[in-house]
């Protein structure tokens, strides 16, 4: 019975998932563990290998990188996290800006972009239009205490697994 309920919930989520023609424009990436300019350079060098990044502006005082994305390219936020980890650090916060075209959202709304499902959590019902800042709240993108807080507030298993069936899910809030 539990399996049937899970399958029905998964089917409902997939049906409600909408493919969106949103374009990620930039992101503000806060990295934890940076202590010197060499750490910043190692992280920047790792991030530069991503084909969808056109420019990186670091701010060592805030442990922040402003990433600009190439127009028309598919942005993979998990690859950004992986490149930071490969450099020996971790993501503390990622706020991605995308250009939405009258996207109606509500709590637990899903949309698909570049092969990834994005799940809105803890949001009011509203229409997003133009450049919108999305804070990624998936595991690995926020401190462990914040992740636990969100995990305790949802019944969606995709928050804990990061997947829905075989598809990757990124959790966001505004």
Q: What is the pLDDT of residues 17-64, one digit of tens each?
A: 444 456 899 999 999 999 888 999 999 999 999 999 999 999 988 999
Q: What is the pLDDT of residues 102-126, one digit of tens each?
A: 999 999 999 898 889 999 999 999 9
CATH number at residue 78: 3.30.70.100
Residues written for the chain: 174
Residue-number span of the structural domain to which 30 is assigned? 2-173
Residue that has been written with the tokens 């390219």 in this structure: 73
Q: Which residues pair with 35 in a beta bridge?
A: none
Q: Would you say 64 and 20 are in contact if contact means Cβ atoms under 8 Å apart?
A: no
**Model pTM?**
0.85
Query: Do 150 and 136 form a contact (C-beta atoms < 8 A)?
Result: no
Q: How far apart are CA 25 and CA 67, in angstroms?
A: 9
Strand-pair partners of 133: 97
Q: Which pLDDT band, with edges at 50, 70 and 90, does 14 fall under?
A: very low
């Amino acid at each position: 019975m539990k399996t049937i309920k899970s399958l029905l919930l998964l089917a409902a989520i997939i049906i409600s998932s909408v493919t969106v023609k949103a374009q990620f424009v930039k992101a503000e990436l806060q990295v934890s563990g940076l202590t010197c300019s060499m750490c910043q350079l190692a992280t920047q060098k790792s991030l530069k290998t991503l084909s969808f990044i056109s420019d990186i502006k670091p701010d060592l005082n805030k442990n922040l990188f402003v990433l600009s994305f190439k127009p028309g390219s598919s942005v993979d936020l998990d690859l950004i996290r992986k490149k930071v980890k490969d450099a020996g650090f971790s993501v503390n916060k990622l706020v991605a800006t995308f250009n939405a075209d009258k996207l109606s959202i509500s709590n637990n709304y899903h949309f698909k972009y570049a092969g990834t499902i994005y799940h809105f959590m803890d949001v009011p019902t509203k229409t997003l239009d133009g450049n919108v800042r999305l804070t990624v709240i998936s595991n690995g993108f926020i401190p462990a205490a914040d992740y636990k807080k969100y995990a305790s507030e949802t019944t969606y298993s995709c928050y804990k697994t990061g997947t829905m069936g075989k598809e990757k899910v990124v959790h966001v809030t505004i």
